[in-house]
Amino acid sequence: MEAVVLRFWDGNEAVEHVINVKHAEDRTAQGLLTILMNTLSENNLSTDGITSDCLDGASVNSGWRGGLQALLTDICGRFVLYIHCINHRLHLVVKKVLAGDNVARNEVVDFMETVRGLYDFFKISTVRKLYDGQTVKRLIETRWSGHLIALRIIKRNHQSIKRALEQASNARSLKPDQRAKARGYLNDLNKKTNIFLMNFLCDILESMEHLTQSFQTINTSLMACIDVLESVRLDLENHRATYTEDYIASLIGCNRSSSSHSSSSQSGRPKRQRTLPSHLSDSVVTSSMPQFRDPDSQDTTLLQELRGLTEDIVNAFNNELDGRFSDGNVRLWDAFQCLSPASNRQNFLNAEKLFPLLEYAFSIPYFKGSRSDGKLGNDLADAKDDLRSADYSRASYYNSLMVFWRTSPSSSLIGYSNSSRVALPSEF
């Protein structure tokens, strides 16, 4: 079933109406576009007034080449703002990073496999009887907070889970392969790399959870979402700065000086003089042979690796956030934010940031002059000229711009209402 819902300005506020619910026999992008265009035609509506389209993230809708939003842009002959559920975008950021798609190493993928496996293992009734902690949660990847819920339980009950696994590894009531799994999971939980990931990923996902909760509130707005999104980016950088080698060492129980002390003590030991017979010079190797060392025993090297993994994970989250939020939409969101001195005093009515919004509005035929009097188009043209003017003044521009947004259908883009006007600060 496909629904067509219109959000529009009725002169006083933004309202929404469902105008069609139809079974989609053709579920391709072209089939969905046909339903949309027929619905508009049946209701005597033109594409000239379309300011944006809001669809889910399925490729049939979101594809930049053949998706519904791309086909709608082609039909309109101009860029049409595509709004994808912000919460779903954030969920995809988390899902992609923890699936290893944006991290060049396998540590994260291996750790998340352990998290999934623990849930299945603790479903065994005999194992469950050995465990006295909170119920191990299944990692539900379709839920916004599914990764955090599963990780949080393991972190809070880390010792209880390890005790249960240790008992299970020796329990005769379990099958040999189950006892082997218990030993394997216990070994995984004792790995210092996984102890680090358990703490680090929980901290990052806690920050993401605040963003998720903000996006789900009834009274949220695009401007509020931008603020929260920026705070998450700051949190990511704070986590990058916090997880130094010293801090990681305190989490995983490493002694940073142990490795360096060992190497320095060996280097100071005098070497015994050796004389090699000349006839053996082509047959004997006198240089040190490479030795295998467990990475977990080399504390200094391990800490450097985990510090590098910290950088990789933070960069992966930033890259995904950039890819899913820093498109043309965000430039318009930034412009919306500049209309409110309360939310963005530094960039309030910043000409450079506002210009993309007016450019976009001017590209919409209804705004540009499809109305008989053409007044709205003239207002837009004047607003653009004012931004380019050397005499541009935020104070003089404020009143005319607020009048424009209050009286135009574009108010629905930012959720503006007559009661939302903010007094101009005295310094402007």
Which of 287, 300, 229 minimizes the C-alpha distance to 258? 300
Only one residue has tokens 């819902």, namely 5
d(CA 415, CA 15): 10
Dist. CA 96–CA 61, nearest whole Å:
19
Distance in angstroms (rounded) separating the CA atoms of residues 238 and 317: 13
Amino acid letter, 156: R
Which two structure tokens, joined as six digits, stand for 224? 């509020």
Residue 151 to residue 195: CA distance in whole angstroms: 11
DSSP states of 226-248: HHHHHHHHHHHHHHHHH--HHHH
CB neighbour list of residue 411: distance below 8 Å, 6 or more residues apart:
9, 14, 405, 417
**CA neighbor of 186 nearest in space, from 171, 170, 166, 159:** 166
Pair of tokens at residue 420: 């939302």
pLDDT value, residue 132: 93
Q: What is the pTM of this model?
A: 0.68
At 238-260, the pLDDT tens digits run 999 999 999 999 999 876 654 44
Domain assignments of the chain as residue spans, ordered by start: 2-84, 90-248, 329-420
pLDDT, tens digit (0-9, with 9 covering 90-100), for 103-161: 656 899 999 999 999 999 999 999 999 999 999 999 887 776 889 999 999 999 999 99
> Within 326-374, where are the H helices?
328-337, 351-362, 365
Is the four-CA dihedral 194, 196, 197, 201 of positive or negative sign?
positive
d(CA 136, CA 128): 10
Per-residue CA distances from 237 to 295, 302, 334 (Å): 28, 22, 21
What is the per-residue pLDDT for 258?
46
Residue 34 in 3-state DSSP?
Answer: helix
pLDDT in tens, the chain (428 residues): 789 999 887 777 888 999 999 888 888 999 999 999 999 999 999 888 888 888 887 778 877 788 898 899 999 988 888 877 777 888 888 888 888 766 656 899 999 999 999 999 999 999 999 999 999 999 887 776 889 999 999 999 999 999 999 999 999 999 999 999 999 999 999 999 999 999 999 999 988 887 777 777 777 666 667 777 778 889 999 999 999 999 999 999 876 654 444 444 444 445 555 566 666 666 665 665 555 455 445 678 899 999 999 999 999 998 888 877 755 667 777 777 777 666 556 777 777 777 788 778 778 887 766 444 555 556 666 666 766 665 555 555 555 555 555 555 444 444 444 444 444 444 44
Encoded amino acid at 40, one letter: L
Token code pair at residue 315: 């960069």
> What pLDDT, on a 0 to 100 scale, did the predictor assign at position 204?
92
414-418 long-range contacts, CB within 8 A, separation 24+: 414/221, 414/222, 414/223, 414/336, 414/339, 415/14, 415/221, 415/222, 417/12, 417/13, 417/14, 418/12
Report long-range pairs for 270-274 (Cβ below 8 Å, ≥24 apart): none
